[in-house]
Each structure stands twice: as structure tokens, then as C-alpha cells.
Amino acid sequence: MREMAVHDIEELDLIGELGGLADLENNPRLALVYEVSRRAGSESRMTELLEQVIRMTQQTLNAQASSVLLTGDDEQELFFEVAEGPVSKALKRVKVSSDSGVAGQVVRTGKPLVVNDVSQSAHFDRTVDAVTGFTTASLICAPMVVHHRTVGVIEVLNKLDGSPFSRQDLEAVVSVATTAAMAIENTRLHQTVLDAYKATIATLAEAIDAKDPYTHGHSQRVMEYALIGGRSLSLTTREMEDLEYAGILHDVGKIAIDSQILNKPDKLTPAEWEIIRQHPGVGAALLKKIPFLERASDLVLYHHERYDGEGYPCGLRGEDIPVGSRILAVADAFDTMTTDRAYRPALTFDYTVGELYACAGSQFCPMAVEAFLSGLQAHTTHSRHFSAL
């Protein structure tokens, strides 16, 4: 193949294997493709994966910037899902038409482009540069295709040393785009299944709450309160997911308890209390049988443990109790106190806050109490309650 001049815009036929690339150790582009494939098989969060992909691609090709643009629902616009480089934040607010620009051309044709002098390109649209202040000199753009439909593109811009992008550069980007496209599709399928699971979980939680007319919506509220506390503690994405599932299913074990005990307006007998105290273990055992709820099952098991070690079912103390369970304990108590129950009317907000503070260090983890209440204060729905605090 002849050397590309600076004014060339070449569409390269890349059908077949990367036969021109050497082994992983000696060829950074092949190593890039291998590493992207490995991460695509293990990373279930699309945005995090794409961020890793373009960062590695940009570094390997010694480029100034890179991005992934995805098609919108109507396929008339492209938006920047992730971006690396000097104007990455500004790009998050930009949308481009799929009818114009290099990215639009690649989406429409499904063919990659290398442009080594954008001033000579009939396809290049200067709108994005004008909006962001970035100066594009050269770029590679490769399509991400799923089931014969282009769902987006990967762009790599400007060699840092000013040299032109090569055929080997484009081959690497095309291979990365192919792998990223498969990862996007797998992630979307995973999300569809997950959404179905969540709908089932919500229905199950409603069935549990329905056993007691006083607890309608309790599971949903406890989940929301727990997430407020979790965000205040800057829990990881995975920890927040576990907290979400545990929050809405924390009382799933009550499905095995007689409604007459749950709805009893009088004081429970010691035998009835013993039955009630079994629900965390019953719930955890049920959830542990479902693979994606296994981690959440531990939070459910320990959500009635006390910080002073006087709780149940295991008598754990202090930081031996998982942080998610400590947050759930506060969220559960807050909702229980602020809603009507068979044995008493709802307590006032101020009284409830006072009780949480009074029991911090004995029944509740002080850190969890502070995280929940500070998060609740920041939450606009409840901020008016804190005017006197």
C-alpha cells in the first residue's frame, strides 16, 4: 500500500486477521487489542469499560485525545459517552448530527476513516472544535457495529509527535472498536436481565409489605434511605448495588411469619419475639441461593445487629458488622419510627432524629447515623425539617 500523503482521506479494507502484527511482547498495538478483549470479558459496566478502552488506545497510539460517541435512540444524533483529553469535560455537553462530520460518515457507511489533514477533508465538521476550543489536526474514526447496525464510533485524535496515523494504527482501533461493540451489546443485554430481576424484586417486596397494612411501601423507603446514607459514605458502585438490593429485601424473611404476629397490636410474647428474630436468617438464606444477591444476603442477615453487640441473630459488635448492615439498621429504624404502626402512631421527625442520636454508639453505628442524617439534610425533599437543628 502506498504511503498516505497529508491530504489523503483513506478508507482501509481491514477484512481478515491482523496478520501484519507481531507478538504481544513486541507489538504494543496487538497488546492493546488483547488487553481490551480481556477487560471486555470481565467488566460489566459499560461506561467504565469504555473509559479504560479509550485511555489505553490513546496511550498506545501516542495521541492527544480520544472519545467514544454513541448513537441516540432516533439515530439522528451522536453523543459523547466518554472522552479523554484536554476538553473531555466540554465534550460531554456536545451532540453532533449523524448526517455530518467524520463520525457521521463512519456511522452512515459502517467503514473506518483515517484523516491525516482535516483541512483537506470534505467530511470534517469544525463545529465541535469551535464549541470546545480544541484543534483537530488528524484523526482515526472506527465504527462499533452490533448485528449489522452501527451503534457508535471510536475516535483517536492528533499524534503527539505530529506524525501521521498509520495503517497499523487504524487496524488496532478497528479491532478495539469491534471488541467494544460486543461489550456494549453484552452490557445492554445484562442490563435488560437486571431490570427484569429488579422488577421481580420490587414485586416481591410489595408482597412482603402487603402482609402488614401498616408497612405499605416500607421496603422501598428503607432502600431509598439506605442509599442516602451510602452516598454520604461514598460507597463504591458495587457496594451501592448490594445496599439497594438488601434495602428493598431486608424483610424478605417475614414472608415465613404468620400475619397475626406481624400485625399484633399488643405486646409480643417471648415465643413470638423469637419467631420475629428469625426473619434476618430466613431472608439471608433465601437470597444466598440467587447468585447476584449473594453479597446482599449478608447485609440482610446482619441488619438487626446492634453496635454494642446486643443485637441478633449473631451478636456482632461495632465494625464487625458490615457497613451496609449498619446503614440499613438506621434506615429501617427511621422509617419504622416515622410511620404508623399497629401498636402506635407515627413519631415526629424531630423526636426520631433525637432518638437516632441518643442511640448512636449503643444500638446504632455513630458513623452510619451521621451519614444518614447529613445525607437526609442534603436531600431537598427533607431539608425543611432541619431548619431548627
Residue appearing with cell numbers 406481624: 262
Q: Judge if 237 and 345 occupy the same domain.
A: yes
| Same domain flag for 167 and 238 | no
240, 178: one domain: no
Residue 229 and residue 104: Cα distance in Å, rounded? 43
Containing structural domain, residue 126: 9-188
Nearest to 82 by CA among 37, 117, 47: 47
CA–CA dist 89, 377 (Å, integer): 29
Asked whether residue 237 is domain-assigned, the answer is yes
Q: Are residues 173 and 83 in the same domain?
A: yes
Q: Output the pLDDT for position 379.
A: 72
In which band, very low, low, confident or very high, does the pLDDT at 360 lie, cut at 50, 70 and 90? very high
pLDDT band at 388 (very low <50, low <70, confident <90, very high): very low
pLDDT of residue 27: 65
CB 219 within 8 A of CB 251: yes
Residue 207 main-chain phi, psi, to 5 deg: -65, -40
Residue 383 confidence (pLDDT): 45
| Mean pLDDT value of segment 54-58 | 88
At 120-148, the pLDDT tens digits run 998 899 999 999 999 999 999 999 998 88
Number of domains forming the structure of the chain = 2
Question: pLDDT band at 386, cuts 50/70/90?
Answer: very low
Integer Cα distance of 250 and 304 in angstroms: 10
The β-bridge partners of 82 are 68
pLDDT of residue 6: 33
For residue 297, what pLDDT band results from cuts at 50, 70 and 90? very high
Q: What is the pLDDT of residue 8?
A: 40
> DSSP string of 119-144?
GG-SS--THHHHHH------EEEEEE
Cell of 137: 489536526
Strand partners, 337: none
pLDDT of 212 reads 64
If asked whether residues 162 and 54 sit together in one domain, one would say yes
Q: Report the CATH number that the domain containing residue 280 is assigned in CATH.
A: 1.10.3210.10
pLDDT band at 363 (very low <50, low <70, confident <90, very high): very high
Question: Do 221 and 160 fall within a single domain?
Answer: no
Phi, psi at 376, each rounded to 5°: -65, -40
The arithmetic mean of pLDDT across residues 353-359, rounded, is 96
* Residue 198 maps to a domain: no
> If you average pLDDT over every residue of the chain, what do you get?
83
Estimate the share of the chain in helix, then strand, then coil, as percent rounded to the nearest 5.
Answer: 55, 10, 35
Q: Does residue 219 sit within a domain?
A: yes
Cα separation of the two ends of the chain = 74
pLDDT at 215: 64
pLDDT at residue 208, rounded to an integer: 72
pLDDT in tens, 182-226: 877 877 777 787 788 778 777 777 777 776 665 678 888 999 999
What is d(CA 287, CA 251) in angstroms, rounded to the nearest whole number?
11
Instruction: Let me know if residue 50 belongs to a domain.
Output: yes
Beta strand 9-10 with 95-97 is unpaired
Instruction: Name the CA dihedral angle for 117, 119, 120, 122, rounded to a multiple of 10 degrees.
Output: 110
Both 354 and 293 in a single domain? yes
Cα(286)–Cα(2) distance, integer angstroms: 65
pLDDT, tens digit (0-9, with 9 covering 90-100), for 242-262: 999 999 999 988 888 888 888
* Residue range 275-288, pLDDT digits in tens: 999 999 999 998 89
pLDDT confidence of residue 330: 97
- Taking CA atoms, 43 is separated from 50, 100, 126, in Å, by 10, 33, 34
Instruction: Pick the closest to residue 249 from 192, 288, 305, 276 (CA basis).
Output: 288
pLDDT of res. 39: 56
Kindly report the CATH number assigned to the domain that includes residue 165. Answer: 3.30.450.40
Q: Which of 102, 94, 103 is nearest to 118 (CA)?
A: 102
* Residue 195 within a domain: no
* Peptide bond preceding 313 in cis form (omega within 30 of 0): yes
Whether residues 235 and 347 fall in one domain: yes
Domain membership of residue 194 (yes or no) is no
pLDDT at position 1: 31
Residue 130 has a pLDDT of 92
| pLDDT value at 365 more than 70 | yes
Judge residue 284's burial from the number of C-beta atoms within 10 Å of its C-beta, 0-12 exposed, 13-18 middle, 19 or more buried.
Answer: buried
How much of the chain exceeds pLDDT 90, in percent?
Answer: 51
- DSSP string over 34-89: HHHHHHHTT---HHHHHHHHHHHHHHHTTEEEEEEEEE-TTSSEEEEEEEESTTHH
Is residue 204 one of the residues assigned to a domain? no
Longest dimension (CA), the chain: 90
Backbone angles phi, psi at 143, to 5 degrees: -80, 150
Q: Is residue 4 part of a domain?
A: no
**Residue at grid coordinates 449523524:** 98
On whether both 94 and 238 belong to a single domain, the answer is no
Residue 246 and residue 357 in one domain:
yes
Distance CA 367, CA 375 (A): 12
pLDDT at 25 over 60: no
User: Are residues 333 and 215 located together in one domain of the fold?
Assistant: yes
> What is the pLDDT at residue 5?
35
- Which residue do the cell numbers 485525545 mark? 65
How far is residue 78's CA from residue 68's CA, in Å, rounded to a whole number?
10
Which residue is associated with the grid cell 458495587? 238
283 vs 295: CA distance, rounded Å:
13
Could you tell me which residue, 243 or 74, shows the higher pLDDT? 243
Lowest mean pLDDT among 144-158, 167-181, 208-222, 308-322: 208-222
Instruction: Please tell me the pTM assigned to this model.
Output: 0.59
Residue-level pLDDT at 51 = 87
Q: Which residues pair with 96 in a beta bridge?
A: 78
Residue type (1 letter), 261: I
- Note whether 127 and 95 are same-domain residues: yes
Residue 112 in this model has a pLDDT that exceeds 80: yes
Considering the chain, what percentage of its residues have pLDDT values greater than 70?
Answer: 84
